[in-house]
């Protein structure tokens, strides 16, 4: 059965960075509801229009919209390789809907991996981050600069973008939303026997290593 891996953790924990690494190393498909929603916002779809202000305020988009967007993405054939869910589920309702969706297709959750971090460090991590406009590679003003200033290591691109919601105020609201609505899912997946916890306060390469070990173990 193709692996279904959930990455849990607050904004700034490194879910997106690590999901991209897992995608490259294990041939899994990263499904980021944040990316899917941002694409809907730029495309100006009805879901995107409804989500835009909610995202800018650092609150959670409705389960209805998020589930519609995710289900749509899950209909693409590439997800058969196995998926890494990044930023989903974020509410108890989304977790229940995911269980049902997987049951319908004879799949189940392989692991839910909680990236454990200190909230206090997340504001700085999120506020400094940006990505290559051409290939999406992530960077950080302090923690991950390109080898040559202003030039993407991956593709040589010279344009970078920052997310509209990556500012100190909005991060605080996103952290609050995480603790109120998403953190309870850690206990939920623990009770299902699929929870793994890793220390995600270290360097990207160290976290990559601990995560790689877990994923090797479960995909073997
Ligand atoms: P981060 O994990 O850094 O907050 P994301 O890209 O995952 O970044 O999410 C950005 C925003 O998109 C969230 O603050 C929220 O408004 C919206 N969003 C993303 N995924 C979900 C989801 N599963 N449920 C509700 N809202 C979501
Ligand atoms: Zn690039």
DSSP secondary structure, the chain, as one string: ---EEEEE--TTSSHHHHHHHHHHHH--EEEEHHHHHHHHHHHT-HHHHHHHHHHHTT-PPPHHHHHHHHHHHHTSGGGGG-EEEES---SHHHHHHHHHHHHHTT----EEEEEE--HHHHHHHHHTEEEETTT--EEETTTB--SBTTB-TTT----EE--TT-SHHHHHHHHHHIIIIITHHHHHHHHTT-EEEEE-SS-HHHHHHHHHHHHHHHH-
- φ/ψ of residue 134, rounded to 5: -85, -50
Confidence (pLDDT) at 1:
82
Tell me which of 30, 54, 60, 169 to substitute to probe ligand 1's pocket, judged by most ligand atoms within 8 Å of the beta carbon.
60
- φ/ψ of residue 18, rounded to 5: -75, -35
Instruction: Write the pLDDT tens digit of every residue in 114-129.
Output: 999 999 999 999 999 9
Answer yes or no: 197 catalytic.
no
Confidence (pLDDT) at 190:
98
Confidence (pLDDT) at 188:
98
Confidence (pLDDT) at 155:
98
Instruction: Write the pLDDT tens digit of every residue in 91-103.
Output: 999 999 999 999 9
- Rg, C-alpha atoms of the chain: 17
Q: Model pTM?
A: 0.93
How confident is residue 219, by pLDDT bands cut at 50, 70 and 90?
Answer: confident
Task: Return mean pLDDT, the chain.
Answer: 95
Closest CA to 67 of 100, 22, 23, 111: 100
Confidence (pLDDT) at 168:
87
Answer yes or no: 15 catalytic.
yes
How confident is residue 113, by pLDDT bands cut at 50, 70 and 90?
Answer: very high
Q: State mean pLDDT over 25-31.
A: 95
Residue 220 has pLDDT above 80, yes or no: no
Query: Which of the residues 15, 38, 52, 125 is marked catalytic?
Result: 15
- φ/ψ of residue 175, rounded to 5: -65, -40
Say if strands 111-116 and 138-140 run parallel, antiparallel, or are unpaired: unpaired
- Contact between 111 and 197 under an 8 Å Cβ cutoff? The reply is no
Instruction: Write the pLDDT tens digit of every residue in 177-216.
Output: 999 999 999 999 999 999 999 999 999 999 999 999 999 9
Confidence (pLDDT) at 67:
97
198 vs 41: CA distance, rounded Å: 32
- Tokens at 33, concatenated: 């509801």
Say which ligand is closest to the CA of 97: 1
Residue 15 has pLDDT above 80, yes or no: yes
Q: How far is the CA of 89 from the centre of ligand 1 (A)?
A: 10
């Amino acid at each position: 059965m193709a692996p279904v891996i959930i990455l849990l953790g607050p904004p700034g924990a490194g879910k997106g960075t690590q999901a991209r690494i897992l995608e490259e190393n294990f041939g899994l498909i990263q499904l980021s509801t944040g990316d899917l929603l941002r694409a809907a916002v730029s495309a100006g779809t009805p879901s995107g229009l409804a989500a835009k202000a909610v995202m800018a305020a650092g609150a959670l988009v409705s389960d209805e919209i998020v589930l519609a967007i995710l289900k749509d993405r899950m209909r693409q054939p590439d997800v058969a390789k196995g998926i890494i869910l990044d930023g989903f589920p974020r509410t108890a309702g989304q977790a229940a809907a995911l269980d049902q969706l997987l049951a319908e297709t004879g799949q189940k959750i392989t692991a839910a991996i909680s990236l454990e971090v200190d909230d206090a460090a997340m504001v700085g991590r999120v506020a400094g981050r940006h990505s290559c406009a051409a290939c999406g590679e992530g960077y950080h003003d302090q923690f991950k600069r390109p080898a040559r200033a202003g030039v993407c290591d991956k593709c040589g691109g010279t344009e970078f973008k920052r997310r509209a919601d990556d500012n100190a105020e909005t991060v605080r609201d996103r952290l609050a939303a995480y603790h109120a609505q998403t953190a309870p899912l850690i206990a939920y997946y623990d009770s299902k026997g699929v929870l793994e916890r890793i220390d995600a306060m270290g360097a990207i390469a160290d976290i990559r290593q601990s995560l790689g070990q877990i994923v090797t173990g479960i995909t073997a």
